[in-house]
Amino acid sequence: MSKVLQGAGGAAGLALGPAFHWRRAAVTVDPPGETTEMTLARFRKAQHQAAARLRALAERQRAAGLREADLFDAQALLVEDDTLTDGVTALVLEGQSLTAAIQTVVAQMQAVLADLDDPYLRERAADMAAVGVELLRVLAGDSSPAPIPPGAIVLADDLTPAETVDLPNHVAGFATAGGGPTGHTIILARARGVPAVVGLGESILHVSDGSLLLIDGDAATVLIDPDDADVQVAQERMATLHAARHRQAALRDQPGRLRDGRPVALWANIGRPAEARLAREHGAEGIGLFRTEFLFLDRDAPPDEEEQYAAYRAVIAELPDCPIVIRTLDIGGDKPLPYLPLVPEANPFLGVRGLRVCMQRPDLLQTQLRALLRAAAHGDIWIMLPMVATLADLVWAREQLRQAAQELASAGIDHRPDPPLGVMIETPAAAVMADQLAREAAFFSIGSNDLAQYTLAVDRGHPALAARYQASDPAVWRMMDLAVRAAQQAGIPIGICGELGGDPAAAPALVGLGLNELSMSPALIPAVKERLAQITWAEAQEAAARALGR
């Protein structure tokens, strides 16, 4: 008998496959009293073990006639690469923990590979990330989880954003007990185009390994043990989706525009430099939001200036002539940092979050701004501030930027001192005071996820209130309208980078409202582009008037 579970939110698409219970690898710390030599010996042993495991995986895949075999072979070579060995050795000798040293060198090598002209070598950037995960998994020893079989549907209590990003490409989809409709896990699943359902409750954890599951990301449901008729309907829908993807792929190299030719910039949201390639592949004409906090999550120390600089350069390398909007660290709320314990708060979304964290720790912001200003000398970087609520917030951040530029100039370090500095419109205060902010900001980008939660007074991750959390509510649109009018008055560009920006059904009204740019998960760009090409400017304006409830 099949059984349906309803989740709180999903990432679009259907997936059919066997259930696989995912387990988190234990984080390793260097054993107390271990000498540097012992740490390095442990590292070399882990390299050999990881390479052997990857080669065995390649053999298994080859025997099963699966094409991932070559991928694991390539990773087995990378795991014992001299650059990795030398880099990690040097950092361990400088006193870094083995885990931190591996994470740093892997990130640097990833950035370098992503920068290369040769497409084959560029592909190795993603493998490098997998190599890092593999090494840390081996170091975790017996507690290391089994590899996820290709085509499986991953089940977990919850996945962190980094864990979501690190799921191998061969998973068919995932389903979690926890999580809400606009949590960062589901946002990242959308970015990758992976069908997923979150907020299913404990029952999903009782499904046995290997049971057949049908995930419907649009309906946010999981069907356990579907019968033949269910499977047939699902396969027909998958074929229709496939055909739509094929049709939309034909528009890939066309710029975003309405039927009557009016241009609309379609940009991508990313959380990791490696996703910039995904953005390019889906036809993004820029990056409208790089959520840099993902560089800071799931590690034991913040990334230093060099690592951040390499990450920003890697994005520029992927989209060299495009605007790249990089948001400064936005943590707190649903994104805590293990090495920066924040005082427990009754209302984290109303607490020390986003720019407010940087006000408490200006050193973190200074490091990031230095890396950004240096990278801005090589590409069209725009710096964006999260959680701005007052003009004073923007003025404070601008002073921080001036300070970072001055220090780089005194040290004779190459940088661009004055990249555009813009703000997210994601608090009602910013929307209402947008006329003031517009006189001081270089651009606006609407963060509709937060703007909706703060305007409607509904926690964006609350499973029981999901029906009340609607970015399509006219109250949210009237807030957005205030920001658009202010931006137009001041002559600055305004876009949107919240989830609403990737909804094909909302796209006409967003353009009709006056937004110049829509930024979304890369996988959503083709569908939004197709929708916009079907409508005229007059129709877009009518859609906006309806959305405003006027």
Nearer residue to ligand PEP within complex by CB, 401 or 425: 425
Q: Output the smallest distance, CB 428 to ligand PEP, in A.
A: 13
Nearest alpha carbon to residue 457 among 483, 427, 432: 427
Q: Output the smallest distance, CB 128 to Mg ion, in A.
A: 29
Q: Output the smallest distance, CB 165 to ligand PEP, in A.
A: 14
Whole-number Å distance between alpha carbons of 295 and 201:
29
Instruction: Report whether 61 contacts 69 (CB < 8 A).
Output: yes
Instruction: Report whether 352 contacts 310 (CB < 8 A).
Output: no
Q: Output the smallest distance, CB 384 to ligand PEP, in A.
A: 10
Q: Does residue 378 carry a catalytic annotation?
A: no
Is 334 a binder of Mg ion (CB under 5 A)?
no
Instruction: Report whether 282 contacts 523 (CB < 8 A).
Output: yes
Nearest alpha carbon to residue 299 among 436, 136, 59: 136
Nearer residue to ligand PEP within complex by CB, 155 or 384: 384
Instruction: Report whether 160 contacts 185 (CB < 8 A).
Output: yes
Element spanning 212, H or E: strand 212-216
Q: Which one of 116-124, 345-353, 450-458, 538-546 is the stretch in contact with Mg ion (CB under 5 A)?
A: 450-458
The single residue listed with the structure tokens 């094409």 is 67
Instruction: Report whether 423 contacts 446 (CB < 8 A).
Output: no
Q: Output the smallest distance, CB 59 to Mg ion, in A.
A: 45
| β partners of residue 153 | 19, 173
Nearer residue to ligand PEP within complex by CB, 21 or 291: 291
Is 450 a binder of Mg ion (CB under 5 A)?
yes
549: helix, coil or strand? Answer: coil
Longest dimension (CA), the chain: 72
Instruction: Report whether 69 contacts 271 (CB < 8 A).
Output: no
Is 447 a binder of Mg ion (CB under 5 A)?
yes
| Contact partner, 275, from Mg ion, ligand PEP, none, Cβ < 5-8 Å per class | none
Tokens representing 86?
């030398």
Q: Does residue 184 carry a catalytic annotation?
A: yes
Kindly tell me the burial class for residue 304, based on how many C-beta atoms sit within 10 Å of its own C-beta (0-12, 13-18, 19 or more).
Answer: exposed
Is 180 a binder of Mg ion (CB under 5 A)?
no
Q: Output the smallest distance, CB 447 to Mg ion, in A.
A: 4
Binding site residues, ligand PEP, CB under 6 A: 289, 291, 330, 426, 447-450, 497-498
Is 426 a binder of Mg ion (CB under 5 A)?
yes
Whole-number Å distance between alpha carbons of 109 and 162:
18
Nearer residue to ligand PEP within complex by CB, 289 or 438: 289
Nearer residue to ligand PEP within complex by CB, 285 or 426: 426
Nearest alpha carbon to residue 24 among 140, 113, 108: 140
Is 502 a binder of Mg ion (CB under 5 A)?
no
Candidate list 184, 282, 322, 358, residue with the active-site label = 184
Candidate list 21, 282, 322, 497, residue with the active-site label = 497
Nearer residue to ligand PEP within complex by CB, 320 or 336: 336
Q: Which one of 210-218, 448-456, 480-488, 519-527 is the stretch in contact with Mg ion (CB under 5 A)?
A: 448-456
| Contact partner, 498, from Mg ion, ligand PEP, none, Cβ < 5-8 Å per class | ligand PEP
Give the residue numbers annotated as catalytic, written as ranges: 184, 497
**Site residues, Mg ion (CB under 5 A):** 426, 447, 450
